[in-house]
A = this chain, B = another copy of it.
Amino acid sequence: MATLASEVAEPRVEMNELAPYAGGHELAAARGEGDRIRLTWEDGLRGDFHALWLRDHCACPQCRHPQTRERIVRLLDLPEPLPAPDVEVTGDGALLVSWPATGEHPAHESRFDPGWLRQRADATTPAVRIPAAEPWEAADAARRPVLDFGAVVNTDDGLRQWLTALQRDGFVLLGGGPEAPEGIDDVVRRIGWPRETNFGRYFDVISKPNPNNAAYTAIGLEPHIDLPNWQRPPDFQLLYCIRNGAEGGASTLVDGFAVAEALRADDPEAFEVLAATPIDFRFQDEESDIAHRGPVIETDAQGAVTRIRFNNWIRDTLRLPTDAVAPFYRAYRRFWERLRDPRFVLRFSLQPGQLMAFDNLRVLHGREAFDPNSGPRHLRGTYLDRDLVQSRLRVLERNGA
C-alpha cells in the first residue's frame, strides 16, 4: 500500500480545490467511533474527523459545484442527527464514507483524497500562510535590498519576493523602473487594480497652487498614514518617482508597530491611552466630508498592535471629556516623539524609476520640505487592498513560484 514518497502527489480523488493537496501518503485504516471517524495514514499519522464535518465537506458534483468549486450541500438539508456512516479505505488509500438513507433523506457516498484529509488533520494549521510582520528599526531597514522593478513586472519569482517582503517588512523599495507615469500601472496590474479613493485611482504628488491636501504643498510632512478618516483606510500605498530634481524632499518611513511596542515598553500608560481612546479624523472639501473615529493604536483581543492611525493634520476636533484631554496629549506627544526618533526613522531620497510600497496601516511615511522652485518633483501614487496582495501571493504559491 506504500507509495513512492513525494512532496505533492497526484490526487486520487478530485476534491475540487485549486491548491495542491499534501502529498505522498495513503490511508492505512479508518474506523467510526461514535460521531468520530478515526484515520491512520500509512506512516502512522493519525487524525480524527467529525462525521458531520465529512458530510459537509463532500466534494462530489452534487455537494460541491463542479465549475465554481462552491459548497452546494446544505446542512439544513441533512438529517439531524446524522446517522453513523460506514467507512472504509479504498484500494488506492482514499477514504470512502457511506451514509445510510434516513426518513426522506437519501443515502449518499463521499470519497476523500488522503492527501487532502492529511492537510486538514490538524485544525491549528492555518488555511492560508502569509508571512508575519517583523518589526524593524532604521538600521535594519537600511540593510534591506532595493529589489528589481523588472523582475517584479516580468517574473513570478520576482513578484513573490516583493510581496513576501512587503507583508513581512511593511515596506519595499523597487528600483530600475521607467521614468514615466505608466511605471506604476505595470506593477499594479501584477496584483489587481487600484483602490479608488477621494484622490482618484491614481494621484500625482506635485506641489499645486490650490491644494486640498498637505501632500500637494511643498511643506515637510510629519510621519503619517493616509486616509485615517476612512473607516477603511487603504491597506498598502505605492509611490512611484517619475522626477525628483527638487532640493530637499527626502522620504521617511517608520515602522509604527515597532514604535508602538517601544512606547508600550517605555511608557505603558501612554500606550494604553492611545489604544483605548478613539479620536476623530476628518477630511472636508467641497465634495466630501469623510470622517471616522478610532484609536491611534489599534490592538486585537490579545493586545497585539494591528493598526496605526496617526495623521496630525486631518485630526478633527478632539472630542474628549476635559479631564481626559491632558493625558491624551501627553501620550500623543510621547508616541510622536518616537515616530521622529532616528533610531526608528528610515530616511532616503527616492530616485526616478524607484517605487516605494508600504503597509499604510503599519508603516508611517513622511517627507522633508522641498523647494518647489529648485526643480521638478513628481510622484505618482495609488493604493492596494491587502486582500488582493495576499490573493496574489497565494496564487503564486499554488502555482509553485
Residues of A within 8 A of B (CB): 17-19, 35-36, 48-50, 52-53, 56-57, 65, 67-72, 74-76, 80, 120, 123-128, 192-193, 195-196, 198, 210-214, 216-217, 219, 222, 230-232, 280, 282, 284-293, 312-322, 325-326, 329, 332-333, 336-337, 340, 385-388, 390-392, 394-395, 398
Contact = CB atoms under 8 A, between A and B. Distances in A.
24 contacts: A17-B284, A18-B285, A18-B286, A49-B322, A50-B325, A57-B318, A65-B313, A67-B210, A68-B211, A70-B214, A70-B313, A71-B313, A72-B219, A75-B332, A75-B333, A76-B340, A123-B319, A127-B319, A128-B293, A232-B385, A288-B388, A288-B395, A289-B398, A291-B394
Contact of A18 (B214, B232, B289, B398): B289
Most buried by B among A72, A312, A314, A333: A312
A222 B74 CA distance: 9
8 nearest CB pairs, A to B = A70-B313, A289-B394, A50-B325, A290-B391, A18-B284, A127-B280, A123-B319, A288-B391
A70 B127 contact: no
Nearest to A320: B123
A105 B56 CA distance: 69
Contact of A123 (B196, B213, B321): B321
Given A76-B337, A288-B395, A315 B71 contact: yes
A223 to B, nearest CB: 11
Contacts of A74: 222, 312
A392 to B, nearest CB: 8
Contact of A387 (B36, B212, B292, B326): B292
Contacts of A394: 289, 291
Contacts of A386: 231-232
Contacts of A123: 319-322
Contacts of A282: 127-128
A292 B50 CA distance: 23
A87 to B, nearest CB: 15
Nearest to A210: B67
A76 B314 CA distance: 16
A72 B217 CA distance: 12
